[in-house]
Amino acid sequence: MSSPSTTQDFFTQVPRIPPDAIFDLTKKFLGDPDPRKVNLGQGTYKDENGAPWILPVVKAAKDKTQDANHEYLPILGLATFRKLATELVLGKDASAIALQRVASSQALSGTGALHLAGEMLFRALGGEAPVYITKPTWSNHRQVFATIGFEVHDFKWYDDNTGQIDFESITNTLRNAPPRSIFVFHASAHNPSGCDPSEEQWRSIARIVQERGLFPLFDAAYLGITSGDYDRDAFAIRHFINECGLQAAVCSSFAKNMGLYGERIGLVTFVTQSSDEAMAVESTLEQITRGEISNPPAFGARIVSAVLEDESLRAEWARNLSTMSTRIADMRKDLFNALIKLHAPGDWRRVVEQRGMFCILGLSLEQVLHLREKYHIYMADTSRISIAGLNPSNVWYTAEAITKTVQDKNLGRINYK
């Protein structure tokens, strides 16, 4: 028997992966000593002072659950959370719930829900079913589905020149995609463009999905924050499932709409044709979860359950959602008005026309880097900004910096036409 080499090359073929762009941007922001710095990168809600906001309803729910035990949850998660969160997203009177055609599993926030949904769909449909994601989209979508083994395609969702949705591109892609293709839709507040279809456009999309035999998967990360009304923001999901009777998956997160970022609390929900299929899907979700994380964490699930099962807390949550959505909308208006007053070159209507936490400004990469290096304003390389990073103390400074940057003829031209 030969002796092992003293220099065994176990990891020489492992490539070094570049850091995640948004988290790396946050790291650079935190290391910047300049007092003027502004973080418009990471999509987390901040209050009018630029500080993290613990929702009042979450504080009350924490008091209510402070004496909970620390035993393991079931593999599929906290039963009350799964029931209440499913009723929240589909509507309590959804026929799919009454007919027991729904399978659900607690997940590690929205990303974990997407991964669970992807693993489930890979087993159900196999690797031959392509996944379609919007262009642009949340940076993690491609990685989640590609690492599972899917062939991932993107399709044009947003027109860079107009700053608006490209509905013709969307419908053409849907009509030409092979049956059983999986389409990842943003339920509301499209990330990063802030461009959502109108209700009539969602109805058209649903008709094509039904006609072509496609499978819709909704990434529902911002329900309640977009408009301040959870039910209104859940329109697309409920139309597809409750009105059109489509099978679908919904990946819900309570990171943004309850401020539970670090608690990693999410839910994946599948609506199937029958109760037997729902039971089979749920058993598979249970097996996948057991093999990956054994069972999910309890704290965030108990917080959400405490809010949803108590009428007074639920009413307080509705007020908290309105507070967040209103502040974001006000910051959009303030930024737009400041850019107009400063005579910033370009058409800035997209700032107030887009919805939700994010906005793509339409700047070149050279302009974005200039803003970062000269003015200490941090945004994604695509010029996607988190509106929640703006507040009364920094919005005018941000507008001034953008104005001076787009006026600088030595920098790359602004993308507006």
**Three-class SS of residue 205?**
helix
Give me 311's structure tokens. Answer: 């009428």
Give the active site residue among 46, 53, 138, 348.
138
Phi, psi dihedrals of residue 39, rounded to the nearest 5°: -100, 105
Give me 322's structure tokens. Answer: 């309105």
Which residue type occupies 240?
F
Report yes or no: 372 and 383 within 8 Å, Cβ to Cβ. no
Give the active site residue among 53, 157, 166, 219.
219
User: Minimal CA–CA distance to 386: which of 46, 109, 143?
Assistant: 46
Report yes or no: 383 and 361 within 8 Å, Cβ to Cβ. yes
Beta bridge partners of 46: 52
Q: Which are the contacts of 303, defined by CB distance < 8 A and separation ≥ 6?
A: 58, 61, 62, 65, 258, 260, 263, 265
What sign for the dihedral angle of Cα 33, 34, 39, 41? negative
DSSP 251-300: EEE-TTTS--GGGTEEEEEEE-SSHHHHHHHHHHHHHHHHHHTSS--SHH
- Pairwise CA distance, residues 80 & 306, whole Å: 9
- Pairwise CA distance, residues 384 & 227, whole Å: 20
User: Minimal CA–CA distance to 104: which of 236, 300, 251?
Assistant: 251
**Three-class SS of residue 44?**
coil
- Pairwise CA distance, residues 247 & 229, whole Å: 25
Residue 56 CB neighbours (<10 A): 14
Give the active site residue among 256, 317, 334, 348.
256
- Pairwise CA distance, residues 380 & 365, whole Å: 9
- Pairwise CA distance, residues 368 & 377, whole Å: 9
Q: HEC string of 175-194?
A: HHCCCCCEEEEECCCCCCCC
Q: Does 256 participate in catalysis according to the annotation? A: yes
User: Minimal CA–CA distance to 89: which of 280, 295, 240?
Assistant: 240
- Residue positions annotated with a catalytic role: 138, 219, 256
